[in-house]
Amino acid sequence: MPCMSDLRKDKSFLTSLIRERKSVLTIGLDVDPTKLPAVINGDILAFNKAIIDATRSTCIAYKPNFAFYESLGGEGWRILEETINYIGDSHFIIADAKRGDIGNTSAMYARAVFDQLHCDAITVNPYMGEDCVTPFYQEGKWVIVLALTSNHGSSDFQQITLPSGQKLYQKVMKTTSTWGHAGNTMFVIGATHPADIAECRNAFPEHFFLIPGVGAQGGDLEAICKAGLNEDGGLLINASRSILYASKDSDYAERAFDEAQAINKIILPHLSQRMNLS
C-alpha cells in the first residue's frame, strides 16, 4: 500500500530539509533492467530499496521516472508503488511523468499520482495550456513545469525567439508562473544551460528549479550552483545514471553512496555561502 501521510511538503519543508541535510541532491530512479548488477538477478524493487537505503542521508528528494516502470506493465506499476511507499515521508517525492492533456484527462492523471501514489510533485508538459495544467494544482502538491530541458532537441522549439524578443521557454515560464506561485510551482531547467539558469534565477528569484542533466549528461555542477542557488536553496539538482550505475558489482549500493557524496561535496561550499550554513 502507498504511503498515506498527510504531511505537507511545502516550501518551508524543502528549505528545512536542505538545511538539515546540507544538500539539494535529487536522485532519479530511472531503473533500466538491462543495466542492473548481475547480483540483483533482475529484481528492480530490491535494487531500488538498496539504493534508497544507501543514499537516504545524502539527498532531499527521489524522482522515479514513470516510463521505466510503465514499460513493465502491471508488475512495473507495483514496483513503482512499493518504491514510493518505501521512500516514505523523509524525502520529497517527484513523479517524473511529464503529463499534460485536456482538463478531465489531466484530472485523472493527478488522481493517480497524488491520491493513489501520494507523490509530492509531478512534472508537467504545459504545451496544451492552462486548462490542462491547473488540474494538477492541488492542496499541498507541486507542479513542475517543463521549461528548458537538457536534451539536444530542446533547441527545436524551446529556444525559438518570439516577435516580442522572448525565447519560447521564457514565455512559458512567465505565463505558467501566474497559474500558481513560488510555493507550488517549479520549473525544469536543464543543467546543460548554466547561463540560462542564471537568467531564469534573475527573473524568478523565489521559485525552485529542478535541474536534470548532471552526471552522465555532463552538466557543470559548479556553474549550476553559482547560477541558481538562492537563500532557500532554490534548486533540486538531479542525478540518475551516475549514481544508480556507479558499479555493476556487489558494491553497487556503496558506490552509489560515494557518487552521491561526491556530488554533495561540490555543492556544499556554494550552498553554505548562499544559505549561511554553519
Task: For residue 125, report the phi and psi dihedrals to the nearest 5 degrees.
Answer: -90, 120
For 79-111, b/e burial (b = at least 16 CB within 10 A) is: bbbbbbeebeeebbbbbbbbbbeeeeebbebbe
Task: For residue 25, report the phi and psi dihedrals to the nearest 5 degrees.
Answer: -70, 135
Contact, 21 vs 57, CB < 8 A?
A: yes
For the annotated catalytic residues, the residue numbers are 98
Q: Which amino acid is at 250?
A: S
Taking each helix axis as running N to C, give the angle between helix 168-176 and helix 194-203, from 0 to 180 degrees, rounded to the nearest 10. 40
Task: For residue 238, report the phi and psi dihedrals to the nearest 5 degrees.
Answer: -95, 135
Strands 208-211 and 92-99: unpaired
Q: How many CA atoms lie within 13 A of 30 on its CB side?
A: 17
